[in-house]
Structure 1
Amino acid sequence: MPRLLPLALAALMLAGCAAGDGGTEGSGSRDGSGPITLAIGRDTTGYLRPLLDRWNQAHPAERVTLLELPEATDEQRAQMVANLQAGSDRYDVLGLDVVWTAEFAEAGWIVPLERSMFPLDRFLPPVVDTAVYRGKLWAVPYTSNAGLLYYRKDLLDAAGFEPPTTWAQLREQARALHAEHGIGGYAGQFLAYEGLTVNFAEAVQSAGGGQILSTDGTRVTMDPDRAEAGLDFLLGGFREGWIPQESLSFKEEESRLAFQEGRLAFARNWPHAYGPATQSGIAGRFGVTRLPGLHGPGAGSLGGLNLAISAFSRHQKSAVEFIRYFTGLENQRRVLTDGSFPPVWTELYDDPGLVERFPYLPVLKQSILSARPRPARADYDQVSLVIASTVSGALTPPFEESSDDVIASLKGQLDEIIRAP
């Protein structure tokens, strides 16, 4: 366990935070120590409890209680927002999806943090950027993420295929393996929620460098040709049958299970799916590579989880100390080895022992560094909802709308959101 921040220094840091833009009036009076609650998405691998137990054994007066929120990020956000809008002090430390930083900071639900309190220079640079809004640090990176392509190595080897790097290769291989083995060719997260927004964004980004919105979220930058190419890639899979219809109901867990149960030849998922697959019936028979694109390797969407402190927490000293502990190097190692989540410390990706145990780490590091951030907008949830609902309608039979009509409609809806006061 790293040496923790002295209480006096934490108090000074949080007192300064209370005066920052976006901070909640009076948050400085809430900087006491005591028991805290960590509100975070459901732990599907069981790695969290041991980390929390270590903290609790060393801090009996500042015990942390784990409050697991639903698996889907949309549902996590809904519960957090309801709590914070009510000014409740039930949550102390919040596990925030990287796309929520702007919204939570703008609403005054979280407190700004002092950069010097955390070893940010040893973190992956794109990951740190997800915790910054309007020049201030509002959270501390805990896990990173970038989309990866999981594939059945045994089936590809038997067919004489190399892992695909382009959409054309993926289509050819998925169709062939679907026909030969009677399994789904490819799937991602295609339910109408944030997961579909991410999958569509990755398709647009992988069609020659397209992007839906500018990074600062102030402009719709979606090139119609690239966006149509990305949509056509997905739509063609559903029309031709190598993307199964059941995947229209897939979130992360459904697609993970379908792949590790042998029902898919290829699956787009986050790195956390790697660990469970090594304990499943396909152990030793699958591989991981970068997402394919129109002309070569594609560009994933940058994901991950950051830890922030509720502006309504009455134990913000303890919350700061806990975040320093939880994001420390040793715990980051366990995040990878026990939870299969990508750490945020750069040096772990180059650790020979870890690379031997997790041979996909070099690919993952490259994927994270080349991934595109999602727009930093306080109303990102509205943007995501419009994208997911529009794309979902296009991918659902009977496929009546043309791709150019879908993209034109989507662009119009996004323009309205951007122009709204």
Structure 2
Amino acid sequence: MRWMRAAGRALLVAAVVLAGYAGFGVRADTGVAAGGRGPLTLVTAGDLTDYLSPLLDDWNQGHPGEHVTLVELPDSADETRAQMISELRSGRDRFDVLNIDVAWTSEFAAAGWISPLERDRFPLDTFLRPVVDTATFDGRLYAVPYVTNAGLLYYRKDVLDREGEQPPRTWAELVRQARTIAPKYGLDGYAGQFLPYEGLTVNVTEAVHSAGGSILQGDGTRVSVDSGAARAGLRFLADGVRDGWISRDALGYKEEESRRAFQDGRLLFLRNWPYVYADASAEGSKVAGRFGAVPLPGPDGPGTSVLGGSNLAVSSTSRHPASAADLISYLTSERVQRQVLAEGSLPPVRAALYEDPELIRAYPYLPTLRQSVLSAVPRPKSPRYDQVTLAVQAVAQDLMAQRQTPDQAVARLARELGTISRKG
């Protein structure tokens, strides 16, 4: 579960299981009974922060007939997803609302495990625009964004200041500084999350989109990775390892390993999620007060981040859709979203909070994060996302280990994704 926690702890609640959501929010053509109200069960992945319980206490005090019980799943993304899917496939009604990683929305919707929602039921126009796209599939809304995320480039401000340099805006500037400045200070140049797991899919997708390419288009029906832009994105990563400004240690990094490397003063540059800002600023951090954060660079200017975060979706077997809709509205209200940020360190989906002077004073990275979110893209949408991400990880692992060239990697990935997209 570490990669999802680290992605802004975005899958903090990996699944919200509620017994409730009646009449509004779920479409009448889904077969879900209207008017259902009752107690709620909220199921979550492990490794929670402490902010959620007070929010649920507030809900429970105001809704005695719709009490929410919290259930935690294992501290593992794969285990969380596997247990959720096992329950959903069984047809049991234990899960009523799922707080799912944004990359799972298409898969869960295509499988019929979550119900489409009425757009007018939720104030989507008050959310950051790109996050709403992560909650849709086949032109319909299947979830409501709960928390969001986008990658940032962390840099050693003290080191760049000493060299009279600004943080990089382009790949060329990043490569030059990582190759020439980092060694002078005994630092590794650059790291992301390059272990074969979901974080590697994120880093690869960001490189491909920053170069102007894509991996899949539409809802996963068309493979688009076979392009010069995709080759350029993969070449950026492969050359980093070959030329040494991405250390081979980074090939074993997930979010937490890369955070510790930066926080312990071993990295000049780090791609990671916003949660790193608070951790690296905390007492005991070797870089506290000595770093900054900017949008990810690209070939010719600011690059493209992948959207992280989680969405709230109603299980198609929910008996209480009205209560579920009300809880979703509660958790995505501006007041609660403020608490999600202030007490949970999770990036909210409400756009107005990113321009709040009080919050910006407390979280100086908010304007940068807003810029990154607004230019971010979802991971490849596909009803078979589990197979897509495994294919991306396997190809990228061989690429960065120098076992395949960028041309070979793109050709292989195009073939494998084509096979996946043609499966019934």
Common fold by TM > 0.5: yes
**Structure 2 CA distance for partners of 1:75 and 1:168, relative to 1, 3 Å:** farther
| Alignment-derived partner of residue 414 in structure 2 | 411
Q: 1:291 corresponds to which residue?
A: 296
Q: Distance in 1 between matches of 2:266 and 2:33?
A: 53
Q: Which amino acid aligns with 1:340?
A: S
Which range is displaced more, 312-321 or 259-268?
A: 312-321
> Structure 1 residues 277, 53: closer, same or farther in 2, change over 3 A?
farther
In structure 1, list runs of 5 or more residues that go unmatched. Answer: 1-8
Native 8 Å contact 2:21 2:320 kept in 1: no
Alpha-carbon distance, 1:357 to partner: 2.2
Moved more, 97-106 or 239-248: 239-248
**For residues 147 and 75 of structure 1, what CA distance do their matches in structure 2 show?**
24
Equivalent of residue 313 in structure 1, options 306, 315, 318: 318
What displacement does 1:80 show? 1.4
After superposition, the Cα gap between the structure-2 partners of 1:257 and 1:57, relative to the gap in structure 1 and judged at 3 Å, is farther
Instruction: Indicate how the Cα distance of structure 1 residues 357 and 110 shifts in structure 2: closer, same or farther if over 3 A, else same.
Output: same
Listed as ranges, the matches of 1:97-108 within 5 Å are 97-108=101-112
Code of the residue aligned with 1:415 in structure 2: it is G
Q: Deviations over 1:94-115 (max 9, x none)?
A: 1111121121112121122222
**Given the alignment, which residue of 360, 368, 384 partners 1:363?**
368
Relative to the length of structure 1, the TM-score reads: 0.88
SS at match of 2:313: strand
Structure 1 residues 75-224: aligned runs within 5 Å = 75-207=79-211, 209-224=212-227
Displacement of 1:387 in angstroms is 0.7
Distance between the aligned counterparts of 1:324 and 1:336, measured in 2?
Answer: 17
The answer to whether the 8 A contact 1:40-1:68 is kept is: yes
* Displacement after TM superposition at 1:140 (Å): 1.0
Deviation, 1:388, is 0.9
User: Partner residue of 1:5?
Assistant: none
Distance 1:317 1:33, change over 3 A: farther
Residues 1:227 and 1:71: Cα distance change in structure 2 (over 3 Å): farther
DSSP 3-state at the match of 1:12: coil
Displacement of 1:153 after TM fit? 1.2
Does the 8 Å CA contact 1:275/1:339 hold for their aligned counterparts? no
Matched, 1:12 2:23: yes
Amino acid of the structure 2 residue aligned with 1:216: D
- TM-score, structure 2 as length reference: 0.88
Q: Return the letter of the residue paired with 1:341.
A: L
Q: Report the Cα offset of residue 70 of structure 1.
A: 4.8
In the alignment, structure 2 segments of 5+ residues that lack a partner are 1-19
Deviation per CA, 1:164-191: give whole Å up to 9, x if none: 1111211222233431233322111112
2:348 pairs, out of 332, 343, 347, with 343
Task: Determine what percentage of the aligned residue pairs are the same residue.
Answer: 54
Moved segments of 4+, more than 4 Å = none
Q: Hey, what's the Cα distance between the residues in 1 that align with 2:220 and 2:111?
A: 17
- CA positional deviation for 1:43: 4.3
Moved more, 63-72 or 404-413: 63-72
Name the SS for the 2:22 alignment partner: helix
Opposite residue 22 of structure 2, the aligned amino acid is: A
Q: Which amino acid aligns with 1:286?
A: F
Within 2, Cα distance between the matches of 1:59 and 1:264? 49
State the distance in 2 between where 1:204 and 1:86 align: 38
How many matched pairs? 403
- In structure 2, C-alpha distance between the alignment counterparts of 1:266 and 1:44, rounded to whole Å: 28
Q: What value does the CA root-mean-square deviation take over the aligned residues?
A: 2.3
